Amino acid sequence: MVSFRPPKTTQSAVPLKPPKGHFFFAGRAYPRVAWWKRANLRRLYIYIVVLILTNTANGFDGSMMNGLQSLTYWQDYFGEPRGAMLGFFNSSMSLGSLIGLFFTPYLIDWKGRKIGVAIGCVIMLIAVAIQTGAQNIGMFIAARLILGFGDTIVLGSAPLLIAEIAHPQDRAILVTLSGASYHSGAFIASWVTYGTLQLKSDWSWRLPSLLQSICSLIILGFIFFMPESPRWLCNKDRHEEALAMFARWHGEGDADDEFVQLEYAEVRAAIALDREHNRTSWSDFLKTKGNRKRIIIITAIGFFSQWSGNGLISYYLKYVMDNVGLTDPQTQLGINGGMKTLALCENFLFAFLVDKLGRRPIYLISTIGTFVMFNIFTIISARYDIEPRAPLGKGFIVSIFFYGIFYDIKSGIMAGYTTEILPYGLRAKGFTWLNFCVTAALFFNQFVNGIALDALAWKYYICYCVFLAFEIGVIYFCIVETRYTPMEEIAKFFDGADAVDVGEAALMDVKEQGIARGEKDGSVSHIEEVTK
Q: Higher model confidence: residue 13 or residue 211?
A: 211
User: Which are the contacts of 11, defined by CB distance < 8 A and separation ≥ 6?
Assistant: 27, 492, 501
Architecture of the domain made up of 37-229+288-487: Up-down Bundle (1.20)
Question: Picking from 168-182, 310-324, 413-427, which range would have the lowest pLDDT averaged per residue?
Answer: 310-324
Lowest mean pLDDT among 68-72, 339-343, 429-433, 477-481: 68-72
Average pLDDT, the chain: 83
Is residue 530 scored above 60 in pLDDT? no
Diameter over CA atoms, the chain: 81
pLDDT over threshold 80, residue 385: no
pLDDT digits (tens, 9 = 90+) for 39-84: 999 999 999 999 999 988 887 876 777 677 777 888 888 877 776 7
Angle at 94 between CA 88 and CA 95, to 5 degrees: 70
If one compares 184 and 362, the residue with the highest pLDDT of the two is 362
User: What is the model's pLDDT at position 529?
Assistant: 43
Q: Is 12 exposed, middle or buried (0-12, 13-18, 19+ CB in 10 A)?
A: exposed
pLDDT confidence of residue 230? 94
CB contact burial 98-122 (16+ within 10 A = b; e otherwise):
bebbebbbebbbeebbbbbbbbbbe
pLDDT band at 347 (very low <50, low <70, confident <90, very high): confident
- For residues 208-217, average pLDDT: 89
In degrees, to the nearest 5, what angle opens at C-alpha 132 toward C-alphas 127 and 135? 105
**Whole-number Å distance between alpha carbons of 309 and 320:** 11
Per-residue pLDDT for 381 more than 90?
Answer: no
| Amino acid, res. 26 | A
Minimal CA–CA distance to 472: which of 363, 326, 334? 363
What confidence tens digit (pLDDT) does each residue in 355-374 have?
A: 889 999 999 999 999 999 99
Q: What is the model's pLDDT at position 6?
A: 44
Place 298 in a pLDDT band, splitting at 50, 70 and 90: very high
Task: Give the side-chain half-sphere CA count within 13 A for 40.
Answer: 15
- Exposed / middle / buried, residue 365 (Cβ in 10 Å: 0-12, 13-18, 19+): middle
Q: What number is the average pLDDT over the span 341-353? A: 83
Task: Find out whether 249 and 77 touch, Cβ atoms under 8 Å.
Answer: no
Q: Average pLDDT in the 479-499 region?
A: 83
**Percent of the chain residues topping a pLDDT of 70:** 87
CA atoms within 13 A on the CB side of 231: 27
Pairwise CA distance, residues 440 & 463, whole Å:
18
pLDDT per residue as tens digits for the range 435-482: 899 888 877 776 777 778 778 777 888 989 999 999 999 999 999 999
| Amino acid (one-letter) located at 188 | I
pLDDT in tens, 235-289: 999 999 999 999 999 999 999 888 999 899 988 888 888 777 777 788 889 988 9
In percent, the amount of the chain with pLDDT more than 90 equals 35
Contact 527, 262 (CB under 8 A): yes
**How high is the pLDDT of residue 514?**
63
Q: Best-predicted range by mean pLDDT among 59-63, 92-96, 304-308, 360-364? A: 360-364
**Domain parsing of the chain, residue ranges:** 1-29+253-287+501-532, 37-229+288-487
pLDDT class for 3, splitting at 50, 70, 90?
Answer: very low
The predicted structure's pLDDT at residue 315: 59
